Amino acid sequence: MPQIPLRTPSYPTPPSNPLPHLLHTPSGLALLELQATIHFPSSSNSSSFVCEDKTEVGKLVFPLYNPALYGDDDTKWMKRVYFYVGKYQRLTGEVRKLGRPFAVVRRKETDTVMGEEREDVEMGDVVESIEGRDNGGEGEELEIVEVVRYKIVFSSRPEPVGGEKEEV
Amino acid sequence: MATQQDEGGFPLSISHNLRQFRLLELPPDLLELIDSPHPPSLSIKAQAPSAAAATPTAKPAYAVLCTPTRTYQLRQVQTSNSVYITQPDPKRSSQAGISAIASCSATLEPHPVISSAVDFLKDVLPVYDIIDGDVDAAGNGKNRQRIFVDIPLSDGECQTAWTELIAFEFAGSSYRPSANTLFQVWKAVHSAVQVEGIKLDSQFLTDEILTSIESEGFPSSLVSALFQRLGDEKDSKGPWSCLNRQRTVQFVGQTLLEQKTGDHYLVAQFLDLWRDSLPEAWREEAELETIKGSFHFPSSTTIAFGGDAAVASAASEKDTPKAGSSSRKWHEKLGRARQKK
């Protein structure tokens, strides 16, 4: 099927969002970019950090974010974001406004096929999925789930931090 | 100072089932469309693989993003960074955090494409020809919408080209008429108009003409397509048609020239035929100036239809000496440019 509809967003009610207000989007989705790869245990039995179907890899801190003190219009906090990975590593990053916002696009979940099997092939490659007309592309739809205007970027190497100073 | 984990932090998790999302860069015009209260329908298209696509020399199909009227080519840009899409965790009793639910290994950059669908349509639409009263056309079994789906341009651009080519749907297939067919249809319309006393450049009932030329065996959709191509948008509504005089005179002249096979017309002979094919009141408007760019003179007394290529090459020949002379006077140009400042 060479033509695939691209749906524009319709937002469900998002859960409460711990990110600074500027980074909030209607659906709660945000963009996080790392010049690094996060290795984490993939099996749910191998780590005590594991809860449910995800692994906690660290902690995000916006040290200068304090709207109560600096007001809602303050943007200085955007210059510094910390990402503590495990106990002894820290990445320093910042919040950047995107020159051109991004639409987050995914393959629209159909009513009949839900769950993990479907997720395996989710969104594959847009071009390929368009060209792959043989494997039942009929009725396939893409949707824009969100438009994001900011991203959190960690472009520097991790630096060691002293474990003894950490809160327990 | 801030080497300790400050207060206000929250946990970041990564989902085990990271999904693959794509990030589509939004230039201002696309952003405006998507942000509008009633976003138009968008779609992603690719050119259908033709028979030729099986050969190794064929260009690979590329994906385009279409708004109702515009087309953007999508370029996929890989990133070496890890890009995650995060979402807030569902409320739990402990501290709420965010989780990465998807990774994006590539972003899509839309680049506006300014292109005409005419050539695409010419490639896929079979020609509808009528030779000595017999229809010579092989149907493709595809309606208009099915044809548009395989053309990597927006529906608006496809429709413009469809109208331009006077393409039409007939018996479950889509066709484009040959110049020969078009001229026959026009002649039938012209004589019907004379019999009925209809003025083509004021509103008339489309059906009136359709009925009177029904016996000629032209598909009515073809006649309607012709009226749409020649019509004035503001006066052609519903059952009514109204032809644009200038466009019609031009069309008749071009079609008359194009359908001529074999020997070329003598210029005077062509002008007579052209005028005779027009309503009496329009005769005076049949001037070569009206169809400028569509013809050339093979000899001093004859005229022939000049395709785009012939016209383009003729134009470039004309331009070449000009360019040469102006390049020799580059210092004058520079001087002019300086004076402007």
Does B40 map to a domain?
Answer: no
Q: How far is Cα B103 from Cα B109, in angstroms, rounded to an integer? A: 17
Q: How far is Cα B86 from Cα A77, in angstroms, rounded to an integer? A: 20
CA angle B254, B256, B262 (to 5 degrees): 115
Q: How far is Cα B120 from Cα B153, in angstroms, rounded to an integer? A: 9
Helix axes B267-276, B245-258, angle to 10 degrees: 130
Provide the b/e sequence for A62-77 (b: ≥16 CB within 10 Å).
bbbbeeeeeeeeeeeb
B224 contact partners, CB below 8 Å, separation of at least 6: B168, B206, B210
Does B323 map to a domain?
Answer: yes
Does B253 map to a domain?
Answer: yes
Contact B9 A61 (CB under 8 A): yes
Does A10 map to a domain?
Answer: yes
**Same domain, yes or no, for B140 and B221?**
yes
Q: Which two tokens stand for residue A166?
A: 């950490």
pLDDT mean over A117-137: 41
Distance from CA of A157 to the nearest CA of B (A): 12
Of A3, A35, A166, the CB nearest to B5: A166
**Same domain, yes or no, for B142 and B230?**
yes
Contact B23 A40 (CB under 8 A): no
**Same domain, yes or no, for B227 and B318?**
no
Provide, for chain A, the percentages of residues in helix, strand and coil under a 3-state DSSP scheme, each rounded to the nearest 5. 15, 35, 50
CA angle B265, B266, B267 (to 5 degrees): 105
**Same domain, yes or no, for B210 and B318?**
no
Structural contact between residues B125 and B132, judged by C-beta atoms closer than 8 angstroms: no
Does A150 map to a domain?
Answer: yes
CA angle B160, B166, B171 (to 5 degrees): 115
Q: Which domain holds residue B334?
A: 310-340
Does A1 map to a domain?
Answer: no
Contact A130 B31 (CB under 8 A): no
Domains in chain B, number: 2
**Same domain, yes or no, for B242 and B137?**
yes
Nearest to A62 by CA among A87, A75, A80: A80
Contact A54 B99 (CB under 8 A): yes
**Same domain, yes or no, for B171 and B234?**
yes
Q: How far is Cα B294 from Cα B30, in angstroms, rounded to an integer? A: 37
Residue of A nearest to B39 (CA): A8
Q: How far is Cα B73 from Cα B46, in angstroms, rounded to an integer? A: 10
| φ, ψ (nearest 5 deg) of residue A94 | -150, 170
Residue A11: the pLDDT is: 65
Alpha-helix residue ranges (DSSP H) falling in A24-168? 67-70, 116-120, 126-131
Does A151 map to a domain?
Answer: yes
pLDDT mean over A142-157: 90
Q: Which amino acid is at B298?
A: P
Does B99 map to a domain?
Answer: no
Averaged pLDDT score across all residues of chain A: 73
Q: How confident is the model at residue A118 (pLDDT cuts 50, 70, 90)?
A: very low
DSSP for B251-299? HHHHHHHHT--SSPEEHHHHHHHHHHTS-GGGGGG--GGGGTTSEE-SS
Contact A161 B44 (CB under 8 A): no
Q: How far is Cα B20 from Cα B18, in angstroms, rounded to an integer? A: 7
Residue B232: the pLDDT is: 82
Q: How far is Cα B199 from Cα B201, in angstroms, rounded to an integer? A: 6
**Same domain, yes or no, for B253 and B318?**
no
Does A85 map to a domain?
Answer: yes
Q: How far is Cα A69 from Cα A58, in angstroms, rounded to an integer? A: 27
Of A1, A37, A55, the CB nearest to B13: A55
Domains in chain A, number: 1
Q: How confident is the model at residue A106 (pLDDT cuts 50, 70, 90)?
A: confident
Strand A89-107 and strand A142-154: the pairing is: antiparallel
Contact A126 B107 (CB under 8 A): no
Q: How confident is the model at residue A52 (pLDDT cuts 50, 70, 90)?
A: low
Of B16, B21, B80, the CB nearest to A123: B21
Q: How far is Cα B275 from Cα B287, in angstroms, rounded to an integer? A: 9
Q: In tens digits, what is the pLDDT along chain B, a chain of 341 residues? A: 444 444 568 888 888 888 888 999 999 999 999 988 888 889 998 876 654 444 444 455 578 999 999 999 999 888 888 899 998 887 664 677 888 999 988 899 999 998 899 999 999 999 999 888 788 888 888 899 999 998 999 999 999 999 999 999 998 999 999 999 999 999 999 988 888 888 888 888 888 888 888 788 889 899 999 999 998 877 777 788 899 999 999 999 999 999 887 778 999 999 999 999 999 889 889 988 888 888 888 888 889 888 554 545 544 444 444 433 444 455 555 555 555 54
Does B183 map to a domain?
Answer: yes
Structural contact between residues B82 and A34, judged by C-beta atoms closer than 8 angstroms: yes
Q: Would you tell me which residues 75-114 of chain B have a C-beta closer than 8 angstroms to some C-beta of chain A?
A: 76, 80-91, 95-100, 102, 106-108
Q: A105 contacts in B (CB within 8 Å)?
A: 21-24, 108
Q: Is the Cβ of B62 closer than 8 Å to some Cβ of chain A?
A: yes
Q: A127 contacts in B (CB within 8 Å)?
A: 46, 62-63, 74, 76
pLDDT 10s digits, B250-300? 999 999 999 887 778 999 999 999 999 999 889 889 988 888 888 888 888
pLDDT 10s digits, B16-62? 888 888 999 999 999 999 988 888 889 998 876 654 444 444 455 57
Chain-centre distance for alpha carbon A60: 13
Widest distance between CA atoms in chain B: 97
Does B84 map to a domain?
Answer: no
Q: A29 contacts in B (CB within 8 Å)?
A: 85-87
- ipTM for the whole complex: 0.75
Q: How many helices (H) and strands (E) does chain B have?
A: 11, 17
Contact A130 B63 (CB under 8 A): yes
Q: Which domain holds residue A149?
A: 6-165
